[in-house]
């Protein structure tokens, strides 16, 4: 099971893991309602290194970019993510983007879903290896929310 850590505790852990030769993969998102698209994406992200870290948007951050959301509060979203076997660490950020978190943690690999072009991925200018993984059409939290509303 993964751990939910503060930025500082996570940075100390990452530094130790890097010293052991581990490759650190970072991704981020709201992960408001976990669905098969998230699970497949996170499994593929983990394959790109040894340790998978998720930067999770805080409730205020989600509300700023997705009106009417989040549906699940950040502590619940973090716990669900940390319980997934492929996730090693979760940390929460309150900014609109994870740029400062990425700069602070210095991961080896940066990953986002295929709905992002590599050059548009926040942090692609500071992380040496960047991937945009395949996007599964027709599966998104927004679509799930709309279906529930109907």
For residue range 17-27, list pLDDT tens digits in order. Answer: 999 999 999 99
Q: Are 84 and 2 in contact (CB under 8 A)?
A: yes
Express as a percent the part of the chain with pLDDT over 90: 73
Structural domain of 90: 3-149
For residue range 83-142, list pLDDT tens digits in order. Answer: 999 999 999 999 999 999 999 999 999 999 877 778 889 999 999 999 998 777 666 666
Q: Are 66 and 30 in contact (CB under 8 A)?
A: yes
Look at residue 42 and tell me whether its pLDDT is greater than 90: yes
What is the pLDDT at residue 138?
Answer: 67
What is the pLDDT at residue 15?
Answer: 98
Look at residue 43 and tell me whether its pLDDT is greater than 90: yes
Element (H, E) at 10: helix 7-19
Give the number of other Cβ atoms within 10 Å of residue 119's Cβ: 9
Question: What are the angstrom distances between the C-alpha of 89 and each of 3, 15, 56, 81?
Answer: 5, 14, 10, 9
Q: Are 25 and 111 in contact (CB under 8 A)?
A: yes
What is the pLDDT at residue 1?
Answer: 82
- Enter the pTM of the model: 0.91
CATH number at residue 64: 3.40.50.620
d(CA 64, CA 2) in angstroms, rounded, equals: 27
Mean pLDDT score across all residues of the chain: 92
Number of domains making up the chain: 1
Q: Are 126 and 116 in contact (CB under 8 A)?
A: no
Give the number of other Cβ atoms within 10 Å of residue 150's Cβ: 4
Split at pLDDT 50, 70, 90, the class of 66 is confident
What is the pLDDT at residue 113?
Answer: 82
d(CA 58, CA 31) in angstroms, rounded, equals: 10
What is the pLDDT at residue 67?
Answer: 86
């Amino acid at each position: 099971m993964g751990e939910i850590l503060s930025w500082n505790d996570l940075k100390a852990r990452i530094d130790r893991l890097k010293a052991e030769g581990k490759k650190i993969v970072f991704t981020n998102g709201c992960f408001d309602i976990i669905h098969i698209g998230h699970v497949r994406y996170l499994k593929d992200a983990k394959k790109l290194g040894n340790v998978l870290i998720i930067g999770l948007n805080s409730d205020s951050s989600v509300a700023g970019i997705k009106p009417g959301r989040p549906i699940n509060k950040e502590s619940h979203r973090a716990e669900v993510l940390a319980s997934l076997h492929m996730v090693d660490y979760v940390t929460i950020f309150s900014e609109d983007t994870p740029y400062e978190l990425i700069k602070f943690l210095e991961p080896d690999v940066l990953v986002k879903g295929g709905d992002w072009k590599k050059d548009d991925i926040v942090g692609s200018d500071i992380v040496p290896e960047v991937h945009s993984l395949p996007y599964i059409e027709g599966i998104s939290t927004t679509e799930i929310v709309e279906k529930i509303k109907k």
